[in-house]
Chains A and B, each alone.
Chain A
Amino acid sequence: MRKLKDRLFVAYVVLATVLTILPLFHILYCVFANGVPVLLKGGLEFLTGTLPAPGEGLGGIGPAIVGTFVLTVLATLMGLPIAVLTGVFSAEYPNSVIGKATRTLLLIMMEFPTILVGLFVMDILVIPMGSYSALAGALALAIVMMPYVAVYTEQSLREIPSRYREGAFALGLRRRTVVFRIMMNLARKGILTGILIGIAKVAGETAPLLFTAGGSYTVYFQGIDRPIGAIPLLIYQLVQQPYENYHEIAWGASLVLMLIFLAIFLPIRLSVKEVKL
């Protein structure tokens, strides 16, 4: 009887696991099944061309690819330095009032509805500037990215056993040397993972861009104060249209987005060496 119960339990766990990861494979399958034919049909032009008129073939999603790239880089430039330093601060002063408050706020920010971030940036940047812009989109993405990077930085620093910290101080090193030369190096895998998760996350975000980036698919990047496109935003906008060719483009764009996502994530995740403690 006990053996039977045990087997039932194992079977249940296996089933639950399969059910959990099944949607992932289904998504992968759908995107590939619908996207690959579009990409084959559109060829290289699909990656470099611009959006056609309704009913006039596939054209290309070049401006959206460049837009995603520009937005992600800008957001990283804005968010990363602040976020890493925030993580370092709350790891170094965990019991200070600011340290405690920061940690709590970061966790809230991580789960904060991203559409509200978009609204906020619209209010402070888009309305005063009178136009959607790459700058506004990037700022919204930076705000979404920062808590991930900060929380990962903080946690990976705190996971380093205290003996290394003590050892470094005992050698007569100043705090900044201990933190930036020793601790960050020991925690590099965790910190880089956080940065990548942040980047991958914002590269795929739609909601923060709705009221900020504006979208621009028939012309390439025109400046950071001008509207800009992004792949997820393009998909969102195309799917709402009643045109057959736009739906096809959306599938193709989905595949491209997924490939970009995998391309950022897999190699670095595999290649960053963890420091053996």
Chain B
Amino acid sequence: MKAIETVDLKVWYGSKQVIKGVSLSIPDKTVFAIMGPSGCGKSTLLRAFNRLLELNEIARVEGDVKLYGKSVYEMDEVEVRRRIGMVFQMPNPFPHMSIYDNIALGVRYNKLVKSKKELDELVEWALRKSALWEEVKDRLKEKAAHLSGGQMQRLCIARALALKPDVLLMDEPTANLDPVSAGKIEELIYELKKELTIVIVTHSPAQAARVSDYVAFLYMGKLVEVGKTEEIFENPKEELTEKYLTGRMG
């Protein structure tokens, strides 16, 4: 079963092409890492999956992205984003809202619960899933701005999980965190893949090796190589991949 499949995906910003025909399939309930140097189009690729690219007026997409066989470009974009959650590079909980409301917001607007009690339970469930419950259970009404960077990022994961997505996109989720917080997020990824598919973008091959089952190497908007993580790391077929993995390229 393929959670996500892209078919000859191409993306332009104005006249500049940044994704040059990427076809890949992401198996269900796995961690799929997209790695590559800065500016290779990783984040753009991720934003094509949940149609967040449409916020950028100059972005243009060709080709297709399928979610469990169905084109996301034929679905309602709100439904797409409900089913494909996203966590960003900079932790971005809404600072003017409480911890509780940060999680409840998306749930309420997508009408996923019927009662306050159900909402309370869902918030607790999401916070437990993101390993944040113990730290914040007594201060759910506090502003999210009071949390540490690592806690904020786990709150963002909780916020995404509360929508019960099928896929979770993570755009360099540890890039702005200290090593301890980053480690917690990686542990979390390992736990979460039992229940959903995770696509993580990283510029660190080491992180890709630690957390992923499959890995794709993207370079200058092209897919250089994709496969099982162990196989790619032990025996890369392309010279570019090997150069990247051994640190001879950036």
A contact set with B: CB distance below 8 Å: 93, 95-96, 161, 163-174, 177, 181-182, 185-186, 188, 275-277
**Beyond known contacts A170-B86, A275-B96: 19 more, CB 8 A cutoff:** A95-B57, A161-B90, A163-B88, A163-B90, A164-B94, A165-B55, A168-B94, A170-B81, A171-B160, A172-B79, A172-B109, A173-B78, A173-B105, A173-B106, A173-B109, A181-B105, A186-B96, A275-B145, A276-B145
Tell me the bound Cα distance from A166 to B55 in angstroms. Answer: 8
Chain A's interface: helix, strand, loop or mixed, by majority?
A: helix
With both beta carbons as reference points, the residue of chain A lying nearest to B54 in the complex is identified as A169
Residues of chain B contacted by A276 (CB below 8 angstroms): 95, 145
Cβ–Cβ contact A170 & B52, under 8 A: yes
How many residues of B are counted as interface, with CB atoms below 8 angstroms from the partner's CB atoms?
28
Does B38 make an interface contact (CB < 8 A)? Answer: no
Residues of chain A contacted by B86 (CB below 8 angstroms): 166-167, 170
Bits for B68-109, please: 1 = Cβ < 8 Å to A, else 0: 000000000011011001101110111110000000011001
Min CB–CB distance B43 → chain A (angstroms)? 10
Residues of chain A contacted by B81 (CB below 8 angstroms): 169-172
B residues 49-69 in Cβ contact with A at 8 Å: 50, 52, 55, 57-58
Residues of chain B contacted by A169 (CB below 8 angstroms): 52, 55, 81
A-B contact pairs, 13 of them (CB 8 A): A95-B58, A161-B92, A167-B92, A167-B93, A169-B55, A171-B106, A171-B163, A172-B106, A172-B109, A172-B110, A173-B106, A275-B95, A276-B95
Cβ–Cβ contact B52 & A177, under 8 A: no
Cβ–Cβ contact B94 & A182, under 8 A: yes
- Contact A177-B109, Cβ < 8 Å, known A166-B52, A172-B78: yes
With both beta carbons as reference points, the residue of chain B lying nearest to A277 in the complex is identified as B95
Residues of chain A contacted by B160 (CB below 8 angstroms): 170-171
Residues of chain B contacted by A170 (CB below 8 angstroms): 50, 52, 81, 85-86, 88, 160
Cβ–Cβ contact B50 & A186, under 8 A: no
- Contact A166-B78, Cβ < 8 Å, known A171-B105, A177-B109: no
Residues of chain A contacted by B106 (CB below 8 angstroms): 171-173
- Contact A185-B96, Cβ < 8 Å, known A169-B81, A172-B79: yes
Residues of chain B contacted by A275 (CB below 8 angstroms): 95-96, 145
Min CB–CB distance B214 → chain A (angstroms)? 23
Cβ–Cβ contact A167 & B94, under 8 A: yes
Residues of chain A contacted by B163 (CB below 8 angstroms): 171-172
Choice from B58, B79, B88 contacting A166 with Cβ under 8 Å: B88
With both beta carbons as reference points, the residue of chain A lying nearest to B103 in the complex is identified as A171
Residues of chain B contacted by A161 (CB below 8 angstroms): 90, 92
Residues of chain B contacted by A185 (CB below 8 angstroms): 94, 96
Min CB–CB distance A183 → chain B (angstroms)? 10
Tell me the bound Cα distance from A276 to B97 in angstroms. Answer: 11
With both beta carbons as reference points, the residue of chain B lying nearest to A276 in the complex is identified as B145
Cβ–Cβ contact B52 & A186, under 8 A: no
Residues of chain B contacted by A173 (CB below 8 angstroms): 78, 105-106, 109
Does B42 make an interface contact (CB < 8 A)? Answer: no
Cβ–Cβ contact B78 & A174, under 8 A: yes
Residues of chain A contacted by B88 (CB below 8 angstroms): 163, 166-167, 170
Does B159 make an interface contact (CB < 8 A)? Answer: yes
Does B156 make an interface contact (CB < 8 A)? Answer: yes
Cβ–Cβ contact B159 & A171, under 8 A: yes
Residues of chain B contacted by A177 (CB below 8 angstroms): 109
B residues 91-147 in Cβ contact with A at 8 Å: 92-96, 105-106, 109-110, 145
Cβ–Cβ contact A167 & B95, under 8 A: no
Min CB–CB distance A89 → chain B (angstroms)? 14
Min CB–CB distance B159 → chain A (angstroms)? 7
Tell me the bound Cα distance from A183 to B94 in angstroms. Answer: 10
Tell me the bound Cα distance from A174 to B79 in angstroms. Answer: 11
Tell me the bound Cα distance from A173 to B85 in angstroms. Answer: 12
Residues of chain A contacted by B110 (CB below 8 angstroms): 171-172
Min CB–CB distance B138 → chain A (angstroms)? 22
B residues 161-177 in Cβ contact with A at 8 Å: 163
With both beta carbons as reference points, the residue of chain B lying nearest to A177 in the complex is identified as B109
Name the 7 nearest CB pairs between A and B, nearest first: A171-B106, A172-B82, A170-B86, A167-B92, A163-B92, A172-B81, A275-B96
Residues of chain B contacted by A182 (CB below 8 angstroms): 94
Cβ–Cβ contact B79 & A167, under 8 A: no
Min CB–CB distance A98 → chain B (angstroms)? 13
With both beta carbons as reference points, the residue of chain B lying nearest to A182 in the complex is identified as B94
B residues 155-201 in Cβ contact with A at 8 Å: 156, 159-160, 163
Cβ–Cβ contact A167 & B156, under 8 A: yes
Most central of A161, A168, A173 by chain B CB within 10 Å: A173
With both beta carbons as reference points, the residue of chain A lying nearest to B47 in the complex is identified as A166
Residues of chain A contacted by B93 (CB below 8 angstroms): 167
Residues of chain A contacted by B82 (CB below 8 angstroms): 172
